[in-house]
């Protein structure tokens, strides 16, 4: 059965001391929680990953993932990180396809397919991020755009490989804007995503994949969004930078 997941994407925020303080606070608070029915993941900037792994511990309740990786195994790619490097620091999850990578670093579905293959080839779980632009929703092409983002980057995988895929639907118009998709809009799109996976891979595969919602999730709206049947948690940006807010969102997931 699929798991609820609350993941924090710190983006390019926090200095080393700030990152350490936040990681330690989250690790401590999660250890103190009596029951934890969901996975909790933080994705700090890559320079803070080994600190974060050291503070969170390898098998503790706080998981640590990377925000990006390169598709090649190694080579002359100045400034980049490979999956093998992540793995050698104990990182077993990576975000792929975040809208900021698509917009500012020109990552398209075909490149993202290569990144997905590189990560899975190393045994690294992928949180595949995707979602439509405002003009695509206004032009009523959002379902088509989302289906294409799924098919071009993921539908070459085998059904078995889907056990290492988490989906994160993040409508671009809701990211960092304070405008959240309504719970009904989120549910409508998540159900469509699950149906699209089911049509290609069958119902068992579709029912097992966690589909997270991202875009202006805050402590005051998380419970309502997470309460929808096809929303399996969230990918949190701004509110993941404060321990109180992030823990409130974790608690809202159950
Ligand atoms: P915000 O929660 O700041 O809108 O960011 C969402 C996001 O992009 C997470 O990856």
Q: Which atom of ligand 1 is nearest to the CA of 129?
A: 10
Question: pTM higher than 0.95 for the full model?
Answer: yes
Specify whether 200 is catalytic. Answer: no
Give the start-to-end residue ranges of the domains of the chain. 4-252
Find where tokens 């990552």 sit. Answer: 107
Cα of 214 to ligand 1 centre, how many Å? 6
Specify whether 89 is catalytic. Answer: no
| Choice among 98, 107, 142, 190 that is catalytic | 98
| Choice among 100, 107, 132, 170 that is catalytic | 170
8-state DSSP, 175: T
Cα of 43 to ligand 1 centre, how many Å? 12
Looking at residue 142, what is its pLDDT?
98
Residues contacting residue 210 through CB under 8 Å, at least 6 positions apart: 2, 3, 4, 5, 166, 167, 232, 233
Looking at residue 234, what is its pLDDT?
98
Residues in the chain, pLDDT under 50: none
Q: Which atom of ligand 1 is nearest to the CA of 178?
A: 4
8-state DSSP, 166: E
Q: Which atom of ligand 1 is nearest to the CA of 174?
A: 4
Rounded (10°) angle between helices 183-201 and 142-154: 40
Mutation choice for ligand 1 from 217, 226, 234, CB with most ligand atoms inside 8 A? 217
Matching CATH number, 4-252, of 3.30.565.10, 3.20.20.70, 3.30.465.10, 3.20.20.210: 3.20.20.70
Residues contacting residue 57 through CB under 8 Å, at least 6 positions apart: 27
Mutation choice for ligand 1 from 214, 242, 246, CB with most ligand atoms inside 8 A? 214
**Alpha-carbon distance 55 to 100, whole Å?**
28
Would you state the structure tokens that stand for residue 137, as one six-digit string?
């929703």
Rounded (10°) angle between helices 109-121 and 142-154: 40
Looking at residue 178, what is its pLDDT?
87
| Bridge partners (DSSP) listed for residue 130 | 169
Looking at residue 65, what is its pLDDT?
98
């Amino acid at each position: 059965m699929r798991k609820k997941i609350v993941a924090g994407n710190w983006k390019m925020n926090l200095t080393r001391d700030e990152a350490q303080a936040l990681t330690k606070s989250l690790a401590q608070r999660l250890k103190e929680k009596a029951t934890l029915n969901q996975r909790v993941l933080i994705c700090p900037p890559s320079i803070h990953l080994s600190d974060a792994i050291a503070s969170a511990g390898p098998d503790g309740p706080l998981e640590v993932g990377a925000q990006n990786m390169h598709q090649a195994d190694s080579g002359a790619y100045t400034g980049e990180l490979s999956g093998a490097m992540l793995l050698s620091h104990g990182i077993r999850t990576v975000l792929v396809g975040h809208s900021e990578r698509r917009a500012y670093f020109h990552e398209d579905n075909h490149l993202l397919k290569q990144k997905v293959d590189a990560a899975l080839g190393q045994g690294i779980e992928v949180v595949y991020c995707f979602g439509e632009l405002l003009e695509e929703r206004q032009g009523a092409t959002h379902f088509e755009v989302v289906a294409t983002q799924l098919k071009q980057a993921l539908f070459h995988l085998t059904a078995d490989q889907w056990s290492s895929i988490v989906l994160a639907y993040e409508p671009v118009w809701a990211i960092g804007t304070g405008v959240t998709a309504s719970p009904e809009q989120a549910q409508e799109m998540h159900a469509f995503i699950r149906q699209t996976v089911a049509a290609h891979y069958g119902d068992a595969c579709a029912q097992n994949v966690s589909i997270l919602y991202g875009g202006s999730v805050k402590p005051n709206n998380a419970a309502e969004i997470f309460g929808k049947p096809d929303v399996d948690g969230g990918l949190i940006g701004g509110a993941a930078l404060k321990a109180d807010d992030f823990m409130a969102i974790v608690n809202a997931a159950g």
